[in-house]
Amino acid sequence: MCSGIIRIKLIIIGSGSISKKHSSIARKVLPDIEIKVASRTKSNVLDKSSKIPYDIEEIIDFKPTIGIVANPAPFHIEIANELLRNDCNIIIEKPISNNLTDACKLDIQRGNIVQIGYNLRFCKSLQMLKDYVDSKKLGKIFSVRCEVGQNLMYWRKDRDYRSSVTANRNLGGGVLLELSHELDYLSWIFGPCKWVRAWIGNVSDLEVDVEDSANLILGMTQKNTDKDLICSLNMDFFRQEQHRSCTVICEYGTIKWNGCLGMVKIYSKETGFWKTTFSDISDVEQSYSRQFKSFLNNIDKDQPATPNVQDGINVLKIIESSHESSSQYGNQVTIN
């Protein structure tokens, strides 16, 4: 893997928990890799010997061949463009940015590999759900219902949730940006989103300056029919248990995906009972490694990344249209 590169140098931008995860995975996949971490903040998350200041000149002087942009979303595009200008292939952690205007400034004309960090696409359980949907074995899809959430106080037990990126608007927080995996995988599995109706707000007592809940109705484009597929999506920062699920109700049965357990269950009209077709509780954790290996494989074969920049931009289009809809008391907003 990456056989054409003699010495692989990885720069990780940001020093949060996700940076530590990326560093650990990179060392397991490529034991001889040289890693540097650039961050504006003090942190004990990463090995101090690998740290360098968040200084563009020092970052570029390191001459990284690959990079992972994992700082807060509002700062993604500026540093990503610097890396791309210096011939670096990169992964940008999700979301691609905190706003559509900045995301569209990403310089993708140089031909570098740019992958967006929607790692759930690399879950075998979610891929199996997609395979079932694509196969049409259960007939027409009538409805899709998704839920995701967990109390923000339990996300990062080693720090005060109020100071986290997730809880602060100026750092790109809020349920829509932080939990945007759902918007990506719904579009990946069921087709582009045409319109949205949304109700977004704060219903808990969490001390945050971002939305802690979002309830969306999405109209997805279906192949070979002029009827939109209706998906409901509920997102929150306040439920006590960790939850991530997608239920697909079809003509001849139902498919259920449990993202926390890495499980897929099928109910078939023919059999009349539920059958577990896949179960791996480590599925989400393993998806990060699969994502990184896919990134390296795309570099080796000089082929486009998945998910790509346009996928990241499409997610932001849904998010910004959702805010517009919510400001209009749930009116339907077309996504261009």
Based on the domain organization, do 77 and 211 belong to the same domain? Answer: no
Q: Indicate if 62 and 132 belong to the same structural domain.
A: no
Give the chain's domain count: 2
Residue-wise pLDDT for 12-25, tens only, equals: 999 889 999 999 99
From 44-48, 96-100, 152-156, 242-246, the region with the lowest mean pLDDT = 44-48
pLDDT digits (tens, 9 = 90+) for 299-332: 999 999 999 999 999 999 999 999 999 999 999 9
Tell me, yes or no, whether 257 lies in a domain. yes
69-90 pLDDT, tens digit per residue, is 999 999 999 999 999 999 999 9
Average pLDDT across the chain, whole number:
94
Same domain? 126 vs 106: no
Is residue 2 over pLDDT 90? no
Cross-sheet strand order for the sheet of 141-149: 274-279, 263-268, 253-258, 243-250, 141-149, 229-236, 213-220, 193-201, 333-334
Looking at the fold, whether 46 and 16 belong to one and the same domain comes out as yes
Domain boundary among 75, 94, 112: 112
The per-residue pLDDT for 3 is 46
The answer as to whether 233 is a domain residue is yes
- Asked if 56 and 194 sit in the same domain, the reply is no
Check residue 46 and give its pLDDT: 54
> pTM of the entire structure?
0.95
* The pLDDT of residue 285 is above 60: yes
Rounded alpha-carbon distances, angstroms, from residue 157 to 47, 154, 209, 296: 20, 6, 20, 32
Residues 79 and 106 in one domain: yes
Where residue 23 sits, what CATH number does that domain have? Answer: 3.40.50.720
Domain that holds residue 73: 9-112
- In this predicted structure, the answer to whether residue 48 has a pLDDT above a threshold of 70 is no
Q: Tell me the torsion sign for CA atoms 207, 209, 212, 213.
A: positive
